[in-house]
A and B are shown apart, each in its own frame.
Chain A
């Protein structure tokens, strides 16, 4: 049986989403048929949470309403796939209206493959980049995100990130969980050259740092049960491409609170496993995340990423990342598993991300079964 909070969680997404992606995910596939199958899977998953037949009696009316809306949106999403506008905002007001665009017009960028209209105000500023919302106005038109180097001296980091991400082309199943890059080019402005990467916006995705901020609390162990698996997956993904991610922090793992899809970002920090290169950049606000081998200027390893996974999980639980303690409410087996990751001695950490994921999964399944617990994350205006 579903709970009222499940239904409310889905209801909130349906009311606030501006794209089908924000509701059903990116639905990857080689053609429309395959994408429709993915869409159906996503729909079925959500439908199970809100179906009136499994709703508590006192919430049947709400469930009926939400279920009907979900069905309508599913049909619309199928039509959008047929028409190639799945990623386009379906609600006026979500995309910049004419008057807003006029006020917030950051100009036009015309690359070799497409033309983009940027918003004037940055959407987000990272450590090395500034993100702008933009609209692609030629070809496959629709909303995009453009990531620009904050300073030309960061351009080599962008090139490095693109080269690292290119390695994932050998692993197509992972691609939906990585930054969806559509275009890359340089922009010359005021005699300075900046790198630009154009991405499909990942609506509905929130960084773990954002989630904690918006919730104004740490996560419950049963929430970390599913979020934690996505964090561990980032270390596994890095290992698959013979790299060390080098900055698995709450900023660099994004998740969709409802579909629970992850998005793994922050690859400009990655280090080639076989190059002997060190991790030379430390993000100050996550300084506890860097293990002794990094501070001692030794070459990092897969175990370095597992250390950062451990710190991220401790932080999510509201534990102490300096003393490596977790709240008492954390089940003992889960706590042990996490604390082992942050052992100062890299050889005493779990040997491999996959083993760690198996162990973690066994623990959470024993503790909470496969129960779906919705995470209702307020939008930023409500949270701030």
Chain B
């Protein structure tokens, strides 16, 4: 995974061709609905294991790796709720994600972003509660978006299994960005509901096909995932529960300023680009919104979403030179509590 590059023109051509030939944008979803296909698309199955040449061969792990073409890969995972009123999100991503990549590369200075998309449902009642693609450096994420089954279900319980996204990022990803550079990837979940408090062993078995040691609370999963990912939740204010304080307080307690209210879901790509840009460049909100090319009401909406996001850590400049030959030691004597 991770070859190729984003190409806005190629993306536009593919979309036009689909339209002119009558191929629906969400092909697999349409085939499922028509009864000519069954089950989760194999490329999006969380049980899909890494290939034989991978260092994590045979394990259900998605990899974001460097290549000659992309030596500084940075993983960006976007996992959204596809139930109920959130069904339009994949389409928004599909139409805007390529442009978002341009902003991330050109303005935020990230040379080699690798995008993974996925969909979250409700593991208590949905047939396909978790679908996840691969990290891609090119337009293939578009294909994966097209294969997502937009279930439109949800259990009417105001809770979705967002913890699956954290379980996935914490245990089922391997990234060169973190392993070789100590650089955390970006993980965005998006939706309008609250989250189930636990991910159980049986859910892990059903969805990822592996045995977890125990049920895990979302708090524990979040702690774990934060070690390797910058974690955000984008809350759709224009979703099904715009004013439900219980839902929002639950998220705020978990994520603090990284719980981001998005007033207009059609601007989700701009908000994602804005967050990454602010953190990477440490520029202020006005400059960031200007760089994305927004004006008027859209600019205000995105600014409102970004205003609480602190500038990133310390921009670490790179020194010239090499380390003493002996420098290669793992830490010692520290356990996880």
Contact (Cβ within 8 A) B335 A281: yes
- B22 in the interface (beta carbon within 8 A): no
Shortest CB distance B251–A (Å): 13
14 more contacts with CB within 8 A, not counting A106-B325, A127-B333, A154-B182, are A107-B323, A111-B319, A118-B324, A125-B329, A126-B331, A132-B324, A149-B182, A150-B329, A153-B178, A162-B313, A185-B319, A186-B319, A280-B223, A281-B335
A interface size (C-beta, 8 A):
58
Given A110-B321, A278-B223, decide whether A284 and B314 contact each other with a Cβ distance below 8 A.
no
Contact (Cβ within 8 A) A152 B179: yes
- A128 in the interface (beta carbon within 8 A): yes
Chain A proximity mask over B20-49: 1 for CB below 8 Å, otherwise 0? 000000000000000000000000000000
Q: Which residues of A contact B324 (CB under 8 A)?
A: 106-107, 118-122, 132
- A178 in the interface (beta carbon within 8 A): no
- A95 in the interface (beta carbon within 8 A): no
Contact (Cβ within 8 A) B317 A185: yes
Shortest CB distance B66–A (Å): 8
Q: Which residue of A lies closest to B333 (CB)?
A: A284
Pick from B321, B322, B335, B336 the residue with the most CB of A within 10 Å.
Answer: B321
Across the interface, B337 reaches (CB within 8 A) one of A122, A189, A192, A290, namely: A290
Contact (Cβ within 8 A) B180 A110: no
Contact (Cβ within 8 A) A195 B327: no
- B318 in the interface (beta carbon within 8 A): yes
- A196 in the interface (beta carbon within 8 A): yes
Q: Which residues of B contact A112 (CB under 8 A)?
A: 317, 319
Pick from B66, B319, B320, B332 the residue with the most CB of A within 10 Å.
Answer: B319
What does DSSP make chain B's interface, helix, strand, loop or mixed?
loop
Contact (Cβ within 8 A) A284 B319: no
- A163 in the interface (beta carbon within 8 A): yes
Q: Which residues of A contact B313 (CB under 8 A)?
A: 159, 162-163
Q: Which residues of A contact B318 (CB under 8 A)?
A: 185-188, 193
Given A106-B323, A106-B324, A122-B326, decide whether A111 and B317 contact each other with a Cβ distance below 8 A.
yes
Interface residues of A in 117-153 (CB under 8 A from B): 118-122, 125-128, 130, 132, 148-153
Across the interface, B184 reaches (CB within 8 A) one of A130, A156, A188, namely: A156
Pick from B220, B316, B323, B331 the residue with the most CB of A within 10 Å.
Answer: B323
- B107 in the interface (beta carbon within 8 A): no
Q: Which residues of A contact B184 (CB under 8 A)?
A: 156
28 A-B pairs with C-beta separation under 8 A: A106-B323, A107-B323, A108-B321, A109-B321, A110-B319, A110-B321, A111-B317, A120-B326, A125-B329, A151-B329, A155-B183, A156-B227, A159-B313, A163-B314, A186-B316, A186-B317, A186-B318, A186-B319, A187-B321, A187-B323, A189-B322, A193-B183, A194-B327, A276-B256, A278-B337, A280-B223, A282-B337, A290-B337
Across the interface, A154 reaches (CB within 8 A) one of B220, B331, B337, namely: B331
Interface residues of B in 225-248 (CB under 8 A from A): 227
What does DSSP make chain A's interface, helix, strand, loop or mixed?
mixed
Q: Which residue of B lies closest to A193 (CB)?
A: B181
Q: Which residue of A lies closest to B176 (CB)?
A: A191
The interface of chain B, by Cβ under 8 A from chain A, is 66, 178-184, 220, 223, 227, 253, 256, 313-314, 316-327, 329-337
Contact (Cβ within 8 A) B325 A120: yes
Q: In the bound complex, how far is the Cα of B182 from the Cα of A191, in angstroms?
A: 12
Across the interface, B334 reaches (CB within 8 A) one of A109, A119, A127, namely: A127
Shortest CB distance A112–B (Å): 5
- A97 in the interface (beta carbon within 8 A): no
Contact (Cβ within 8 A) B329 A196: no
Q: Which residue of B lies closest to A285 (CB)?
A: B333
Contact (Cβ within 8 A) A148 B314: no
Contact (Cβ within 8 A) A192 B223: no
Q: In the bound complex, how far is the Cα of B333 from the Cα of A193, in angstroms?
A: 23
Q: In the bound complex, how far is the Cα of B319 from the Cα of A166, in angstroms?
A: 21
Contact (Cβ within 8 A) A152 B321: no
Chain B proximity mask over A305-336: 1 for CB below 8 Å, otherwise 0? 00000000000000000000000000000000
Q: In the bound complex, how far is the Cα of B333 from the Cα of A119, in angstroms?
A: 25
Across the interface, B181 reaches (CB within 8 A) one of A126, A192, A287, A295, namely: A192
Q: In the bound complex, how far is the Cα of B332 from the Cα of A283, in angstroms?
A: 9
